[in-house]
Structure 1
Amino acid sequence: MKLLQKLLLINWHYIERELIEFSGINFLTGKNASGKSTIIDALQLLFLGDTSGNFFNKAANDYSQRTLKGYLRGEVADDGGTGFIYLRDGVFSSYIVAEFFDTIKKKSFCFGVVFDVYGEDNPTHKFFLLEAPLPEHQFILNNTPMDYHTLRNHLNSTGKIKYQFFDSNRSYRESFLGKMGGLNNKFFTLFKKAVPFSPIMDIEKFICEFVCDVSNRIDISDMQANIRHYKQLELEAGFVKERIERLTVISAKYQDYLIEKGRLLQQSYLMDRAQLQESVDRIDALREAIRQNNEKMVSLAAQLEKKEQEIKKLDEKRDRLLKEKFESDLYKKTESLKKQLDDLTAQLKQLDGVRQGLADLITRTGNTWKKALKDYAKHIAPEKAHAYASLQREAADLSGIKPDGLICPETQRELDAERLQEIRSQMKAFRNEVDALYFDTRSRLEAARKRATELASEIANLKKGIKPYDAKLLELRREIKNKLQQQYGQEVPVEIFCELIEVRDKRWQDALEGYLHTQKFYLLVPPEYFVAALKVYDRLKFERQFYDIGLVDIGKLQELNPKVKKGSLAEEVVTDNPYARVFADYLLGRVIKCERVEDLRQYRTAITPTGMLYHNFTARQINPDRWKVPYIGKQAVKKQIEIKEQELAGLNQEIRKGEFRFEVLEGLKEIDPLGDDTIAHITGSLQQLRTYQDLVGERRQVQEALERIDLSYLEKLDREIEEVEKRRTAVEEQREQLKRENNKLEYENNAIREEKIPAEESRRADCKQRIDEKYDAGWIRETGEPRFLKEMEKRGSPRKIIEAFHSQLERTKNQAERKWQELVRARSDYNRDYKMSYDINLPENTPFDEELTELRDTHLAEYEAKIKDAREKAQKQFQEDFISKLKQNIDTVRGQIEELNDALKNVAFGRESYRFEIKPNPNYKRFYDMITDSMLLEGYNLFSQAFQAKHRDAIDELFKQIVDVGEGDLSADQRAELERNIEKFTDYRTYLQFDLISKDESGRESRLSKTITKKSGGETQTPFYISVLASFVRVYRLQQRYRNKNNTLRLIVFDEAFNKMDHQRIQESIKLLRSFGLQAVICAPTEKIGDIAPLVDRTLCVTRLNNITVVRAFDPRKLEDEDELPERYHQPAAR
Structure 2
Amino acid sequence: MKQAKKIITRMLINNWGGISHRMMEFHEYVNLFSGKSGSGKSTVMDAVQVVLYGSVSASFLNKAADDAKNRRSVMSYLRGAQKDGTSNRADQDFYSTLVLEVKDTGLHTTTCFGAVFEIGRTDMDINGKYAFFSHSGSIPEDGYLNADGVPYSKAQIRKLCETRKQSADNRGRVELNRIYPSREAYVATLYDVILGGVDPTRLMTMEKSAIALRMTNGTGQFIRDYMFPRSQESAIEKISEQLGAYREIKEKVEDLEERIHMLDTIHESHTALVSTRSDMVRAEAILKYIEIESTKAHLEARSQDLQGLKTKIGSLETEQKEKEKEQKSCQEALIEVSSRLKASDYGQKEKELQALKDKIVLLAGNSRQWRGIVEGLCAWEEDENVTGYVNNFALQLICEFRKGSVTEKQCQELARRLEEAASAVSEEYEDLGTSLRETGKDLAEKKEILEDLKNDRKHYDQKLKKARTQLEAALTNLYGKKVPVSVFADLFDITDEKWKNAVEGRMGRVKFSLITPPEYALDAAKLFRRMKQYQEIDLINTAAIKRDEPTAQSGTLYETVRTEEAYVDLCLKRYLGRIVKCETVEELDQVRDGVTPDCYSYSNYMFRHLREADYTTRACIGTKVSKEKLQELTDEVFRLEKEYQESIHLRDSLKRAMGFEKLGMDPAQLAALSKAAAQLEDAAKEQDGLEEELRELKNGTLMSELTTKQAELQEQESQIKERLAKIQTELLDQTKALGSAESDVKGYEEKLAILQEGFVENEELLAEVTENLETLSEAAYRNKKRQELVKFTEQEEQQREDRTRARNHFNQKYPVYDFADPDKDNDCYDQVLETCRRDFEPQFKEEFAKQCELVYASLRDNVIAAIHGEIKAAYRHARDINRLLSRIRFSDSVYQIEILPAQNENGQFYEMLTAKELDSKVMDNQGYEGQMSLLEDDFYQKYEQKIQLLTEKFMPPREEDASGLEKRRQEMERYADYRNYLTFSMYEKVENPDGSIRKNPVDEMAGRDSGGEGQNPKYVALLAGFAMLYMQQSSRDSKVRLVLLDEAFSKMDKERSEVCLRYARELELQLIVCVPDERLQSLIRNVDCVYGFRRYQNQISMMHIDKGSYLEMIAGEKEDGDEAGADETEDTVIE
**TM-score, normalised via structure 1 length:** 0.48
**TM-score, normalised via structure 2 length:** 0.48
Q: Which is greater in Rg? A: 1
